[in-house]
Each structure stands twice: as structure tokens, then as C-alpha cells.
Structure 1
Amino acid sequence: MVYILFDIGGTKTRIGVSFDGKRLGKVRVIPTPKTARKGIKIILDAAQELAAGEKIKAVAGGIAGSFDRRKSIIVGGGANIKGWMGVYLKEKFEKVFRVPTYLENDAALAGLGEAKFWAGKSKEIVAYITVSTGLGGAKIVNGKIDPHARGYEPSYEIVNAGAYRKSWDDTRLRTYLSGNGIKKRFHKDPALIKRRVIQNELARWLAVALNNVIVFWSPDIIVVGGSVMNIIPMSRVRAHLDKIYQRILPPPPIKKAALGDFGGLYGALIYLRQQRAKKDRL
């Protein structure tokens, strides 16, 4: 029997397989489909190929946007996957795959993967922030996603209240730091930004965000991932944070994510094991 894992991001979707529930096997990467109906069908096709004739036992994965875990629907924040919003995803996946399906926010699963496998391993409280097409994050405590009533949405954090004009979006972190926000402000794909003055500005905004993460979550370590981090120098982030963060105790270590594009799949694998163990205890 095999387990299917997936990570549905704003731009790309990754589908993986585990033949033992402990290790990640082959992975397929595709552009994220515009609608849930099409996306679930494509994930099923890829899963059957990856399973290589073996029976699929369970499915687990993450999806971008504000995810209501109790209802298994995206209720907001998924600007790049509007066709997935309002759909009862757990119900749809289980109808198509005919096996138990476990869903969470994509950033939360990436944080779980980092906390259990790499950068945050052995730390009690891990704060994870991802800066990619969108901006997300989660708090991981003792190797589990910390319980939450409304999900974690650092992208909605107000970091520049003085910028308010006609919309509060002008004040939010995602406007200044997410891939979509950067593209809109500088009219350029973030990956093509080479000017140090812009990179330094992005590092400053990230430092502001991390300062708030520290004072609200009090983590042992902060792990930062996502494609936009390829253009943000961590040395500048630390330098800005040293100026912003003023406390008796020094700020926690800040590390770049180590699992790269597959962090969400590793997190899905851990989450699958945790949910199945929880079910077995009931």
C-alpha cells in the first residue's frame, strides 16, 4: 500500500508518494490548476502513476489560502486559486480517491516538515514563515501544528498603518513582501530583481515581520522559506532585526528552510502519520 501527498501552492502543485509512510519517494510538479475539479482529477492521475499499481491507503496535503480545517474549504486569501475557494475539498478528495484524506494549509505543513526533519529539528517552538507567490506561516509546538481557530495569516499583518488611503491592503505585509506584491510594486518578476537597494528594502520589511513573530509567538527558532528568499540577503535581515528588536534577551536564531520546494510534502507525510495515529487511538 502507498500514501499520496500533495502541496497545492499559488503557482505550482507538487504530488509525491510514500511507499512506507516514512520516506518521500518520487515527486511530480505541475502548474496549479485553476479549478478544484480539474486539479483533483490531475492529482488523481499523477497519484495513480506514482503508485505504480499499488493500492492507495490514504491521502494528505496542503493548499494555499485561508483554510478552514473544520469545514475543509478555502475561505479567503487564495488569490491565485479562486477556482478552489468554497469547495468542500476533503469531501471531494475522498469521493475521488475513496480513501481517508487529511488537509491543512500549505505553509503550516511546510513548517511542520522543517520542524520535524531539518532546520527546526529538536526545537520546542518553531516559527515558520514562507515568502513566495503569497506569504504564509505557522507555529509548530513539540512537533505539531499549534491549534488555531482561524488559521495563521501573517500576510494580513498590518506593518505600515500610515500608508492607508482607500484600502487596508495598502498597509499589509503581503503588499510589501509577497511575490505578487513585489511584482505589482516594481513591475518585475521577483526573481529578476538584482538591485541591492530593493533587496535591502525587502530585507527590512521581513525584519519587521520577524520582530512581530518573536514578540507574539516567542519561538526558539525562526525558519524562513519560499522562492522570494532567493533575492533577500539573510545577513541584511539579521542586521535590520538587530536594530528593530529591542529586548533584554537576544532574538532567536533565524535559519533558511532546508527542504526547499518539497517542504510541504515532507510536512504532509508527518501530518498523515499524526492524524492516522490520532484516529487509531479513538
Structure 2
Amino acid sequence: MTLYPGLIESEIVVDGAVVRVYDSGGDWQTPTIVLVHGTGSTAEKNYWALFPMLAFEHRVVALDLALPDDGSELTLGFYVRQLEAVIEQVRDQRGVTLVGYSLGAVVSLALAARRSDLLTSIVTIAGWMKTDRHQVLRNNLWRKLRDEGSSAKADFALFASYSAPYVSSRTVPDYEEIVRRVAGTDYPAPIMDLNRVIDIVAETHSIELPALVIGCIHDVMVQPRHSREIFGAIKDARYAEIQAGHAVVHERPAELFALIDRFVADPNEYPAGTVFEQTDV
């Protein structure tokens, strides 16, 4: 693992699944930040840029969510229990700020609703509360391309993940690297099945923690209206939008760092209901 120099790696077993945990360590005065990755990804693939940025100022912990090892159906509760176990293991008197991206935001919201006692605050990035018809349509298209063994599956994933401004402004070598990265990404069927049935609307409305909700203006996977709905559901929430597609963790990690770093330092610096102005970093 190359996330951070001196990274502390460990494993815990939850419901028979082996969960990999990555801890930057360090003695900081701020809450520990726990990062939760998105669909079919890993801590390193999603947070290769954001993890080391945050680790300069905070203790940062990330995990690799694990699929059931017995082939049973993947449920949201299965992921939530993994996250809960990791937080129980790493939390200290300074508390924990939970940062979830994409499906990781869904898992984080569910955990925050069920175990708010474990957390001091929560950040969601390109998350959603309930899968809608548009998301199911995209999921259906992915399934069709997969089942046909189509070479267009990678092109479709790239198109849906990255914003037009980002893709169009890359140099040829940079663009080719993006193509290679997407071509090597797999979305296991159990996770795609889970994505189709998300509904945590009632749970999200029950969350009373300080929250920072981040949406992505050019996101076609999880359109920014989903983040605005989360913002409206959590009474102690602040909202920011970033000029990026769903792959914001690759497109704009520095802007994510700036927002998260400031929020973790003082979640109540800005009052609930604050909408930050859009910025280009």
C-alpha cells in the first residue's frame, strides 16, 4: 500500500469478511478522519490523493469494504457493520469525522443514523439517499454491456465517471492514463445490485450530527440534486458544490481537502443551512 509513508496496516474480521484497515497514525488535536470508498473500489484507488493531503494535518484511517465470503447477498447492513467495527477500533477521545464518497456516503449516512454516538461529524461526497429511475437506467446499461462482453463498457464507465471539462482539458498522456485506470476497474455484480435498492431517506432525516454535504455539478452518476436532498434532510448540514464529475476524488482532490480540512477543524464555524459559493481550485 502506497497511500502514506509509515502507514499502519491491519485486518479485522466482521461477519466472516476480512476488512483491511489503513491508519496514518500521528498525534493530532482534531478528530480522526475515517474515509469510506465508493462502489467496487478500494481505499487506495479512491483516496490516493486525498488521504496524504489530509494526513498532513489529521490522523486518517481508511478501509477496504469486503464482500461476503460465502457468496450470500450483499446488504447495506453488512457494510455498515464493517464500518462500525473499524470505528470502534480506531476512535479515541478526540472523536471521529466520517467521510464517505459515493456508495461510501450511503454507508456513512446509515452508520451515522444508527450509531451517532461513535461520531462527532460527517461529510458526504457525491452521495444519495434513494436510488431513482435515472440511476437504475444507468445500472441497466452497464449490465447490458457487461453481459454482452462489450468493449464499450470501459468507455461507458469513463463517460459516466468524469466530467466533460476535465476529460477535454487533459493532455494526451494524462487522458491515456485515465483510460487505463477505468479499463482496469471492476464493479462486482453484488455491489451493483446493492446500488439499485438504496433507500435510507428516513434514516438520513434522523441524523443530528454536524454535516458537510458535497455535490458535484457535472456528476451524471449521482446527480447533484441527490446531495441537495441530503443537505435538506439533515438539519445541522452545510452544503458545497464542486465543478467536477462523479470522479471528484480524482478530478479535484485539493478542493475536497480544503473543504474537509476546515470542517473537521471546526464543524460549527458555519451555521447549519450555509451554502458555500462555488469555487475553482
**If the TM-score is normalised by the length of the shorter chain, which range does it land in?**
0.3 to 0.5
TM-score (norm 1): 0.33
Higher strand share: 1
